[in-house]
């Protein structure tokens, strides 16, 4: 691409009259030519910029490790889905009767393709997922407000971060959720894209007694998921309306409740496994 820069077309001071007349014609011709070229170049640059922006908008936003989970290094792909990364602490053999369900979070990274997602929609996603799961789990478990031995702590988030070193917008459920009116109708295009492209990150923890010589309670990660599945591999890859979102959250709540009950009662058998992951064992705390 040629870049034209115009500085000074006439030298300082006076010139010969004839030379000035000829020079003036030359200057006018040059200015016209340069203006025409500059316009062509500007239009070309502008068109290329718009084309690049359109191409970028159509490119799927691929989530990277956001930092929500405590440790990503221990995650491995599941046998069923390469984009579902999992960890399960193999030595833990019991279930739980008490649960601490932390506020659901939504993380939006600093990416131009995510700027149009309405913030009220992101807040609603956090509140609606928390409400669906907390309501369902409270039927089967004792829900507590403090961590400790014998308490399963659950952290959950939607994350769509493309650069872990850039700023992130956080949205978190204010507990208890009040006056959450179910939404109806189609999702905004930007919200639908966010859901389709985002990762679901979940971590299960237990806080135990401090190690000898330490005053800090010991926190153990029992299981973790970093689910980057897309399209038909995951329910969120096909949602189109707020009714779809509600149905998906209700289904997730039911599955989580059933599996935690099975773990508590000693009948749990993992459906999603990684190499070497064993089944959970018999007794609850």
Confidence of residue 184 (pLDDT cuts 50, 70, 90): very high
70: which 2 tokens? 């405590």
263 contact partners, CB below 8 Å, separation of at least 6: 94, 95, 96, 280, 284
The answer to which of 19-33, 34-48, 215-229 has the lowest mean pLDDT is 19-33
Residue 22 has pLDDT above 80, yes or no: no
Instruction: Decide: 128 and 246 in contact? Cβ < 8 Å.
Output: yes
pLDDT (tens digit per residue) in 27-70: 334 334 444 444 444 556 565 544 444 444 556 678 899 999 99
For the whole model, what pTM was predicted? Answer: 0.74
Average pLDDT over residues 137-153: 96
Q: How many CA atoms lie within 13 A of 119 on its CB side?
A: 6
């Amino acid at each position: 691409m040629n870049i034209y820069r115009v500085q000074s077309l006439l030298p300082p001071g006076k010139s010969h009259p004839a030379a000035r007349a000829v020079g003036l014609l030359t200057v006018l011709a040059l200015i016209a030519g340069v203006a025409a070229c500059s316009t062509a170049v500007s239009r070309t640059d502008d068109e290329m910029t718009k084309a690049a922006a359109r191409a970028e908008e159509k490119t799927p936003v691929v989530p990277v490790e956001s930092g929500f989970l405590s440790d990503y290094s221990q995650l491995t792909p599941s046998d069923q889905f390469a984009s579902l990364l999992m960890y399960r602490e193999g030595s833990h053999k019991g279930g739980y009767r008490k649960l601490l369900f932390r506020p659901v979070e939504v993380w939006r990274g600093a990416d131009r393709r995510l700027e149009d997602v309405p913030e009220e929609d992101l807040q609603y996603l956090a509140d609606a997922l928390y409400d669906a799961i907390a309501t369902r789990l409270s039927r089967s478990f004792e829900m507590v407000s403090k961590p400790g031995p014998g308490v399963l702590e659950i952290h959950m988030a939607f994350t769509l971060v493309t650069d872990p070193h850039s700023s992130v917008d956080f949205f978190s459920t204010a507990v208890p959720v009040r006056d959450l009116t179910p939404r109806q109708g189609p999702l905004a295009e930007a919200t639908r894209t966010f859901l389709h492209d985002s990762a679901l990150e979940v971590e299960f923890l237990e806080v135990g007694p401090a190690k000898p010589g330490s005053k800090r309670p010991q926190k153990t990660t029992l299981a973790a998921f970093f689910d980057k599945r897309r399209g038909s591999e995951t329910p969120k890859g096909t949602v189109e309306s707020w009714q779809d979102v509600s149905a998906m959250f209700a289904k997730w709540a039911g599955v989580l409740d059933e599996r935690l009950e099975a773990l508590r009662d000693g009948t749990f058998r993992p459906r999603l496994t990684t190499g070497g992951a064993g089944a959970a064992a018999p007794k609850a705390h």
